[in-house]
Amino acid sequence: MAVKGEELKRVTKLSYTAGFLGVFWFILANPQQIWSIFLTKQMGATSSQLGFIVGLTQIVAVLHLSSIFFYSFLKKIKTFWLVTSLIHRALSFGVVLAALYVYRGGDRHTALIMVAVSTVLSLALANTSSAGWFTWMSRLVPSGSRSTFFGRRSAINQMSNVAFFFTTSWILDIFSDRALIVYAVIYFIATLFGLADILLHIGIPDQTPPKRKGKPRFSTALLTAPLKNRKFLYFCFVLGFSIMGFTITNPFLAPWMVDDAYGLGAPNLWIGITVVISQTTWVLTASFWGKVMDRLGKKGVVMIGSAFPLFWLIYLFANSQNYYIFLPLVAFLTGLVTSAFFDGLLQITYSLSDEENQTAYMAWHWAFFGVFGAIGPSVGGFILDWANTQAVQGGLFPYGIHTNIVISVALTLVGLFLYSLVDLKETPARHIIRIVMNPNIFRTMNSLAVVEKEKKTPRKVENSLRKISGSSGLLGEPVIINRLHDPEREVREEAAKTLGRIGSEQAVDALIGELIDTDSTIRTVAARALSKTGNTRAIPFLIGALADPSEELKEVCAEALGDMDEGESVDNLLSILRQGQSEKVKVSGAVALSKKGRREAAGDIFALMKQSHNRVFQKQLAIALANMLGKPGEFYAWLQGDWDDSFLRFYEDAEKLISRLIKKNSPVLLKHLRKELLPSLKSSYGKREYNRVVRGCKQLVLEISYTLYQKTEKELEESNLQMLIWFLNLYEGGEATHLDVLLCFYAIVYGQYLEFMG
């Protein structure tokens, strides 16, 4: 059972502190850069020997499977893990003894065997219990924040890595004439730190695993259960292939960088510099990738992270004169995504595993990791020895490591394809890439930090919510949804607007919840926000809200339905116009229908406009009709200034239109229109005889109709002409106004070429 509240905070602090100390042991005693350089430069290991030893340290990962046996008999994890882990860390004293042995004149080959044996035994013992640690931690941390927890722990670990690694590489350069003594001292200190890491876990509570039916005994079925999960089995194969791909090169990069004969000949300090850059970048991005995994899924994040070997292609351009440019560049680029890969692998295993048998899943995860990880360096070492020989003889590449890099890149590309076939119903990788590559991502992350933590200044939260938009807002959905219930109304409203801009399924669900909650104070804001999403799932709820007693809510819901591209919403908007709703709600429905261009509503909108005595409503309805006659929003601009000026501009445009249409076909008609009919319309308008102007508009259209029929697009023009005449016929027997005149002229001048449905 997961811990919560203050207990979770205490567990988190202990775990983070332990990880910070344990990293010093990890960067030295594990097969990492300094360990590899120690074996090649101080113990005299060849690339093949280094690859073979690294392979041995990886192959013992099959002992992870033994943890299934041990933990099946144990009710709890903690004690067994503590004992085995303390012994495993203490075995690192063997490296200290090997360094002192060579310093005192001992055989380097014998010392190499000492290091290999102590390291392999240490990791073998660790593998018998480490799967339990991951199960232990996953049970303690709530599943909804698990990726974030491990991401932050990873970030803190990398901060430790940066500090310890840089200091160690710097010390090794300063005391290079006494390197063996320095190695002995730092390995001694690292072992003590590693033991402290384990001892700190004494303060972390253990968790009783979920009860199984029957006695918790080891069985073949318990061991092989994960292998019957096809999704998990395929994922482990792809994971192993990916690990094999990059380990063909990875263990040999650090020795190549400092090697004078077959490499760049850089000082040890440059290894420290690259680690500082890559791990600092890891620190800055680990928590971010954790949030992305929690919100968008693990698969896409792992695919992005698995591509990091592609950046190694930059090493093809590095040499002993320019390494100070390319080493930091690659370190930075790989640091951006590697936490996405390594942290994400475990999260996928968690998501595919059976809660009751999680230790078995973790054991098989690490077993596959180790077996394939053993193949990579073992093969890579032989390839590198051969490639170095070819490079000396003037082969294709100036450095043998380039051959390994090209192979790793090729395998990485195949691995990306294989990852794409992993069956997880999550956000596609390409969508995640679009989100993380969006320039707004940094502003969004900063804003989300304020929204999540700010308690005392509502205005800050409100302003931060206003800055969040688009797909990047998906990363903070739970935090934003929580703000829907903030004590401050302004914050609640801004949270709803933000969810409308995000428009995800979860955002729509939260907004629908507010809309149908009669106690909510932001129902109208939620309705507007739903219209912004365009999600048709909201239509039934918007329609249901039309029966609410609140006129304001009905008005907003009618407007929102206008933005929904569904026949169901049109039918309900039509019913608003034709049934006993208030005039304000009917106007909102008319405006909404005009956005859809539905001709069956035009007559109702016209009738409503002529019945209304509200000048504002008349104007809104005229604009709604004009939206159906011409371009949406265009007529609105003509009503913003002086209406007489607008009429004169319409009049001038009508003259130009008529001249363009009939100048060549009928000069006599053109003369009649320009000298008689148009001036009479202008005169009648000046006398405010608006009915005569409207009748004159209809006569004008009929007289130029013959010319319109002669145009190339005859059917379209005939249809448009019929629509225009239908609209002008609506004014038969009615009282025209100033607004009607402008609307008629707009229909003639701008509407006849558009698909107005009459």
pLDDT of residue 630: 74
pLDDT attached to residue 661:
64
Question: Which phi and psi angles does 91 have, rounded to 5°?
Answer: -65, -15
What is the rounded CA–CA span in Å between residue 76 and residue 82? 12
pLDDT score of 272: 80
Domains 5-206+218-422+431-435 and 546-634 share a fold: no
Rounded to the nearest 10 degrees, the angle between the axes of helix 602-611 and helix 567-578 is 30
Is residue 495 pLDDT above 70, yes or no? Answer: yes
CATH number of 546-634: 1.25.10.10
Q: Output 515-519 pairs: Cβ under 8 A, ≥24 positions apart.
A: 515/541, 515/542, 515/545, 516/541, 516/544, 516/545
State the pLDDT at residue 401: 92
Q: What integer pLDDT is reported at residue 217 of this predicted model? A: 57
pLDDT range class, residue 610, cuts 50, 70, 90:
confident
pLDDT at site 403: 93
Report the chain's mean pLDDT, rounded to a whole number: 80
Tokens 């590309």 sit on residue? 413
Residue 344 Cα distances to 150, 182, 536, 538, 599, angstroms: 9, 36, 34, 34, 54
Kindly give the interhelix angle for 108-127 and 93-103, rounded to the nearest 10 degrees.
180
For 398-402, what is the mean pLDDT? 90
Rg (alpha carbons) of the chain, rounded to whole number: 37
pLDDT band at 123 (very low <50, low <70, confident <90, very high): confident
> Taking the model in full, what pTM does it have?
0.60
493: closest CA among 524, 448, 456, 447?
Answer: 524
pLDDT in tens, 307-356: 999 999 999 999 989 999 999 999 999 988 888 888 888 788 877 877 66
**What ranges do the domains of the chain cover?**
5-206+218-422+431-435, 438-533, 546-634, 643-751
387-393 long-range Cβ contacts below 8 angstroms, 24+ apart: 388/47, 388/262, 391/262, 392/262
Convert 446-472 to b/e letters by CB count within 10 Å (16 or more is b): ebbebbeeeeeebeebbebbebbbebb
Residue 600, pLDDT > 70, answer no
pLDDT of 643 over the 80 cut: yes
Which of 379-388, 422-431, 534-543, 637-646 is most confident? 379-388
CATH topology of domain 438-533: Leucine-rich Repeat Variant (1.25.10)
Q: Alpha-carbon distance 230 to 554, whole Å?
A: 52
pLDDT score recorded for residue 269 = 82
Q: Is 160 exposed, middle or buried (0-12, 13-18, 19+ CB in 10 A)?
A: buried
For residue 413, name the pLDDT band (cuts at 50, 70, 90): very high
Q: Is 70 exceeded by the pLDDT of residue 537?
A: yes
- At 757 the pLDDT is 30
Lowest-pLDDT range of 68-77, 353-362, 660-669, 716-725: 716-725
**Rounded mean pLDDT of 651-658?**
80
pLDDT at 755: 37
- pLDDT class of 717 with cuts at 50, 70, 90: very low
Q: What are phi and psi of 389, to 5 degrees?
A: -65, -45
Mean of the pLDDT values across residues 619-623? 84
- CATH class, range 5-206+218-422+431-435: mainly alpha
Say whether pLDDT at 374 is over 60: yes
Q: Which residue has the higher pLDDT, 76 or 56?
A: 56
Tokens 């001892």 locate to: 199
Per-residue pLDDT at 147 exceeds 70: no
Averaged pLDDT, 529-556 = 82
In angstroms, rounded to a whole number, what is the distance separating the alpha carbons of residues 625 and 622?
A: 5
CA angle in degrees (0–180, nearest 5) for 651-656-660: 145
Task: Give me the pLDDT at residue 404, please.
Answer: 93
Query: What's CA 632's distance to the chain center, in Å?
Result: 35
